Copies of this chain bind each other. A is one copy, B any other.
Amino acid sequence: MSPHPAPSAARAPLRVALAGIGVVGGGVVRLLEANRDLIARRAGRPIEIVAISARDRQKDRGIDLSAYRWEDDMGALVAADDVDVVVEMVGGADGPALTLARQALGAGKALVTANKAMIAHHGLDLARIAEQADTPLKYEAAVAGGIPVIKAIREGASANQIARVYGILNGTCNYILTLMERDGANFADALAAAQAEGFAEADPSFDVDGIDAAHKLSILAALCFGARLDIDAVAAAGIRNVIAADIREAEALGHRVRLIGMAERDDGANGGGLYQNVQPCLVPADHPLAYVPGALNAVVAEGNFVGRLFFEGAGAGAGPTASAIVADIIDIARDEYGPAFAMPVDALDEAPAADAGARVGKHYIRLIVEDRIGVLAEITAAMRDAGVSIESFIQRGDEEGGGVVIALVTHEAPARAIDAALAPLRASAHLVGEPMHMPILAL
């Protein structure tokens, strides 16, 4: 117990209702119990769980919930007079989570959520309801788990024009890529290992196809650029097509393969607009993102006065996610919050999508070809015809995927030219499988 006069003497407890008690919900209960006194001191008032709702009351969650009022119907949390904050941990972009969020905000309750899919698809809608009801909508846990990156960007970097924001936003993909690095494994084996160790879901497509990272990126982009959140504007590719040879060749080139979500404001040279993309990239070995191990997340924000900020930590898991959720609750207890996207929804810019094809950079291209006369001429002719100049060309004679691996790095070229070079090759009878290309991250 704290030796100090209880802050609770000064301010009434903040009363919290939890909706959805899975792994994350259990973490929130444990955290609020374990750190209760400390949180009361920091928040200036106690934070109390007053009610809980989840689908199955009988499920063994390994925690004693008997001290808390149970509601079978989530709607009862919204209706209850003794609830100040509803914490949505139900999940899913739509359905019960969205209904609960709308009702809670509409009723003037504060809403805290870890639901990246819901924020990515309905964040503006929810923020507008929150504004009308003059109540907080907070979602720190929706991006990069325990890393307080929403706060760091919304508030810590608020004085800056952000040139670009990017990072490793999906721990499952990073775990798989680092396994491939460590073991020389191919994607399928590394995925199976990640699944066995609990780092990937049985149905991994949400993670490995870049969808989860796209949700998070769209949220970061809205905050960084004061733009209307637009998940449909994010182009997302995942890591299924990365093969062991890509990891090897990247390393030989002084790079590592990482799934990078990046949002950048076009400077106007190509018509302006916002570039938002999730795809595997080659990251230079002297960039801090190259050292992010295992299932961690990391975010880089580049500001016009602060320069490059780098944040790293656990991107998922019960403890880190609970940490972010409760930080939001403490902000609410302290009355330290403002508009969900840093400014009112009507003050956000319409941000047209940038012309991604005009984006210039170096690219890594990998092809698997039949080992026969004329193939190299076909490749180099395709590059020449598209105006793509080759900086380095590697053919080690390695066989993989039923052919010989050819890797090359281009000089700076627009993405459109790379696509144009690959188009005839995709149709070539001498290519085995799809060509792979990855941008090389510029420092």
Binding site for B on A (CB under 8 A): 2-5, 7, 27, 31, 34-35, 38-39, 41-44, 140, 146-148, 151-152, 155-161, 226, 286, 288, 291, 293, 303-314, 317, 319-320, 322-327, 329-331, 334, 336-339, 342-344, 346-347, 349
Are A152 and B161 in touch, CB under 8 angstroms?
no
**Contact A151–B147 (Cβ < 8 Å):** no
Are A327 and B288 CB-contacts (below 8 A) given A305-B319, A338-B336?
no
Q: What's the nearest-Cβ distance from chain B to residue A162, in Å? A: 10
Minimum CB–CB distance from A35 to chain B (whole Å) comes to 6
Kindly report how many copies of this chain are found in the complex they form together. 2
A155 touches B336 (CB 8 A): yes
The 8 Å CB contact of A305, one of B288, B323, B330, B343, is B323
Across the interface, do B306 and A146 meet the contact criterion of CB distance under 8 Å? yes
**Given A151-B155, A155-B330, A306-B288 contact (CB < 8 Å):** no
Q: Closest 10 interchain pairs by CB?
A: A148-B156, A159-B326, A306-B323, A146-B306, A305-B319, A310-B312, A305-B323, A309-B313, A336-B336, A4-B347
In the assembled complex, the Cα of A322 lies from the Cα of B158 at a distance in Å of 11
For A342, the closest partner residue in chain B by CB is B42
For A30, give the chain B residue with the smallest CB separation.
B305
Q: Are B310 and A158 in contact (CB under 8 A)?
A: no
By beta carbon, the residue of chain B nearest A329 is: B159
How far, in whole Å, are A148 and B42 apart by their CA atoms in the complex? 19
Residues of B within 8 A of A42 (CB): 158, 226, 342-343
Write out the residue numbers on chain B whose beta carbons fall within 8 Å of the beta carbon of A322: 159, 305
Which B residues lie within 8 Å of A327 (CB)? Answer: 155-159
Give chain B residues whose Cβ lies under 8 Å from the Cβ of A157: 148, 323, 327
Specify which of A41, A42, A310 lies most central, judged by the most chain B CB atoms within 10 Å of its CB.
Answer: A42
**Residue among B155, B313, B336 making CB contact with A307, cutoff 8 Å:** B313
- State whether A161 touches B38 (Cβ < 8 A): yes
A44 & B338 in contact (Cβ 8 Å cutoff): yes
- When distances are taken between beta carbons in the complex, the residues of chain B under 8 Å from A312 are 288, 309-312
* Cross-chain contact B331 with A155 (CB below 8 angstroms): yes
**Cross-chain contact of A310 among B39, B43, B311, B317 (Cβ < 8 A):** B311
Contact B148 A152 (CB under 8 A): yes
State how many angstroms separate the Cβ of A244 from the closest Cβ of chain B: 23
Q: Are B161 and A41 touching (Cβ within 8 A)?
A: no
Interface contact B151-A38, CB-CB below 8 Å:
no
Do A347 and B158 touch (CB < 8 A)?
no
**A307–B303 touching, CB < 8 Å:** no
**Would A337 and B336 be within 8 Å (CB), given that A146-B307, A151-B155, A155-B151 are in contact?**
yes
Contact of A319 among B307, B344, B349 (CB under 8 A): B307
* CB atoms of A148 and B159 under 8 A apart: no
Q: Are A305 and B320 in contact (CB under 8 A)?
A: yes
Docked CA distance A5–B346 (Å): 9
Known contacts A310-B313, A334-B338, A338-B44; decide if A304 and B34 are in contact (CB<8 Å): yes
A7: chain B residues at CB < 8 Å are: 343-344, 347
A148 neighbours in B (Cβ, 8 Å): 151-152, 155-157, 309
